A and B are shown apart, each in its own frame.
Chain A
Amino acid sequence: MGGLLSDAHWGVLLILLPLFGGLCSFLWPGAVKFIGLATVSAVALSVVGLGDQLLTTGVYHHAVGGWGAPLGIDLYADGLSLFMLMVNALVGLGVSIYALDYFDQGEARRFWPLWLLLLGGLNALFLSADIFNLYVTLEIVGLAGVGLASLSRSGAALDGAMRYLMATLLGSLCYLLGVALLYHSAGTVDIPLLAERLESTPPVWAALGLICAGLALKTALFPLHFWLPKAHASASAPVSALLSALVVKASFYILLRLWLEIFSVRTEGVDDLLGALGMAAIIWGSLQALQQTRLKLMIAYSTVSQMGYLFLVFPLAAAGAFSAWSAVAYLILSHALAKSSMFLVAGNLMHFGGHDRIADLDRAVQRLPITVGAFALAGVSIMGLPPSGGFIGKWLLLNEALNQGRWDLVIVMMIGGVLAAAYIFKVLGFAFTQAPVTHEPKGVPAIMEWSALLLAVAAIVLGFLASPLMLILGIGETVQLMGAGQ
């Protein structure tokens, strides 16, 4: 049955609060901003509560309906889940504050219900221990993501949203067929039980292939990234931030979770394939980012490249386990903060100049110092320079690759860093110079400037928080604990 009376069920609140907030904001369009901000703040507090609970009592476990696996659905939270929920809460707060001033009345009424339901879906996803339940959460995230991506109703946004919808639906279907094969192989959809029962058989390999392919498509792993740049670059700035910072991480999280719990011992070379595609993504995404003339497209291609780093975990996790995946978790958090900040910066620059052409940034640094400062700080983390969260994450990953003698990964990571520096300094360079064509600038609300800066500062501050964050990640040491039998 349910947990003891003594432990508060923050996990349950994390799911119900945003869903309820989403419904309320739909029912009372006049109060969306208030309901939205209150809900996101309450979610952030609940994450703190859950963190406190996990640090004192260890992993969180809740059998929904009191049935317990395999008949019922279990909720589960360990350090990795908590980390992802922190990403949701931090980025969610920053973007929500930004959105207060970004959207006009009509757009705000459409934005908030979708965003709160998306947040509920994401939280539910990070708390689920059931692969079919994960499918339903993936659909919430996907449909809400598409609704948000098309929010501005511009031709480009509709086009991007359509690509995203096709990719996300196909990804979900592949994942679902994989789930069907796993269920019929093991008679359960509960992750710990699957870990106990699955053997290395053809249906399990087929499921592994389908699930990896479906989730890689949703995560925009090279060469399945074709949908991402248009979808992320053509959405409204806060939406781009949410899509790049949170939504692509959700499908990656499922892949990582399943890998650590179920698939790691049954890989047969898939780990090296994912690693190789990750390396290709780093190089290809960076080169594309470097060639872009529009800021938002550059940032979107940078996401393709940064997601590549995450996939390096698969060849490394087999031998390195905790040290490898904790590095990647660190990268997820710092990328989410830095990338959301960058998209918000792009939103400010577009608001300011009416365009996002990199070459025409026209001394933005003098006129929007806070915004450009935010971009520079976020850039430090994306490049992986110290002191920043990005630096710690990449440093840990590099160390792991060196320890395992994977020089190919080391070299690609170095090249990726240099290329990232190139595309970020290119933007900063144009921000200092005068454009040939000057334009009528429009003032940017202070809230929009400061929220972008705060997210970037958070990405830097992460560089000083390595030891407490590693302590959090270590809760339940995913690899051994969740699969009780392994």
Chain B
Amino acid sequence: MNIPMIYALLGITLFSVGLYGLIVREHLLRKILALNIMGSGIFLVLVALGKRSVGDLPDPVPHAMVITGIVVAVSATALALTLMLKLVEVSGSAVLHDAPKERS
């Protein structure tokens, strides 16, 4: 097993850890962090597997895709955070209602 593959495996593990956090943790801020970690994991898979080329140049196409992905992620994060704050202003809770409420 080579180094890029180890990073790719790290990527899917991060994806899964994020997914786990998204499902298990209730605070919306935590869910937003979880989605960001999942995203980082996917970006790792994309780029690490692009290093399997024989030449000296790593595949630039996944690099461009990941830069696109990072911008999409920060956009979604900003929107999610604002939505969370508005929700807290209205409902007083940063947890979606039908789940049991959590403090902090």
Contact = CB atoms under 8 A, between A and B. Distances in A.
Complex A–B touching at CB under 8 A: yes
Interface of A: 132, 136, 139, 142-143, 146-147, 150, 153-155, 158-159, 161-163, 165-166, 169-170, 173, 176-177, 180-181, 183-184
B15 A177 contact: yes
Query: Which 8 residue pairs of A and B lie closest in terms of their CB atoms, listed nearest first?
Result: A155-B90, A184-B49, A180-B46, A158-B87, A177-B42, A180-B45, A173-B38, A139-B72
Contacts of B68: 136
Interface string B3-37: 00000000010010001001000001001000100
A169 B50 contact: no
A35 to B, nearest CB: 24
A170 B22 contact: yes
B83 to A, nearest CB: 5
A402 B87 CA distance: 49
A23 to B, nearest CB: 16
A181 B11 CA distance: 12
Given A153-B86, A161-B83, A165-B83, A170 B35 contact: yes
B103 interface: no
27 contacts: A136-B68, A147-B79, A154-B90, A155-B90, A158-B83, A158-B86, A158-B87, A159-B87, A159-B91, A159-B97, A161-B83, A162-B28, A162-B80, A162-B83, A162-B84, A163-B96, A169-B35, A170-B19, A170-B22, A173-B35, A176-B69, A177-B12, A177-B15, A177-B45, A181-B45, A184-B46, A184-B50
Q: Which of B38, B50, B72, B84 has the most CB of A within 10 A?
A: B72
Nearest to A70: B61
Contacts of A183: 46, 61-62
Q: What does DSSP make chain B's interface, helix, strand, loop or mixed?
A: helix
Interface of B: 12, 15, 19, 22, 28, 31, 35, 38-39, 41-42, 45-46, 49-50, 52, 61-62, 65, 68-69, 72, 75-76, 79-80, 83-84, 86-87, 90-91, 96-97
Given A170-B35, A177-B42, A139 B87 contact: no
Given A170-B35, A180-B42, 19 more contacts: A136-B68, A136-B72, A139-B72, A143-B79, A146-B83, A147-B79, A154-B90, A159-B97, A162-B87, A165-B76, A165-B80, A166-B22, A169-B76, A173-B15, A176-B42, A180-B49, A180-B62, A184-B49, A184-B50
